[in-house]
Amino acid sequence: MGVEKSIRARVRAGDSVAFGQVFEDHARAVYRHAIRMTGDWAVAEDVVSLTFLEAWRLRARVEPEGESLRPWLLGIATNVIRNTRRAARRHQKALAKLPPRDVAPDFAAELTGRIADAEQLAAARAALEQLRPAEREVFALCVWEGLDHAAVAEALGKPVGTVRSRLSRARSRLRELTAKELAATCSTRSMQRTDTDGQIAGDRGLAVRSTKETIR
């Protein structure tokens, strides 16, 4: 470590200045991971706050030597997201018991649906939600966050071989599911616009190929 303590050692010792630097260095990565996993900006912001609160609580577990703390933080964020999902499901069940109320129509979804990129994102997210949670987490950390297998294994507390097999399954399933989602979107729009010149189907075919390339 040299004369000066590493940032890991300083965080472990409860150095708030060092922890602030960790936040500056990695908050954006945690937020990016959260928004991709949840699809909700507000929830992602809460995940960032909860992640760093939990990281501070668990600071004594940080090894004094090592490289970036990003895998450790993303592992904590993944656990926070799991808990957030459970809480959201409980909340939805509670809301379902309430009497219905009139809701003003929301035209945002209709406008967004006209943008091909948004449709691809929606299809990818819908496909991602159909994966098993363990496969979804590995895919997000390996592909979206760019962590190697060893770093993901560290973040999730799993063997490297388990990470590899889950990622392989996730890639295969996502290619299949995303293509189906986009095909379904194409079919729906074709039925709604039977008087068009047929360009939509061609555009969706390109979208399917583009998304396949992204997932690959």
For the stretch 98-136, pLDDT in tens is 555 444 444 444 444 444 556 666 777 777 788 888 888
Mean pLDDT of 56-68: 89
Hey, what long-range contacts does 47-55 have (CB within 8 A, 24 or more apart)? 47/77, 47/80, 47/81, 47/84, 48/77, 50/80, 50/84, 51/76, 51/77, 51/80, 52/23, 52/27, 54/79, 54/80, 55/19, 55/22
Q: Which listed CATH number (1.20.120.80, 2.40.30.10, 3.90.1200.10, 1.10.10.10) goes with 103-216?
A: 1.10.10.10
Task: State yes or no: pLDDT of 173 exceeds 80.
Answer: yes
User: What is the architecture of the domain spanning 1-101?
Assistant: Orthogonal Bundle (1.10)
Q: Where are the domains of the chain?
A: 1-101, 103-216
Token output for 49: 């706050």
Average pLDDT over residues 65-78: 91
pTM strictly above 0.75: no
**Quick check: do 1-101 and 103-216 share a fold?**
no
Instruction: Give me the percent of the chain exceeding a pLDDT of 90.
Output: 31
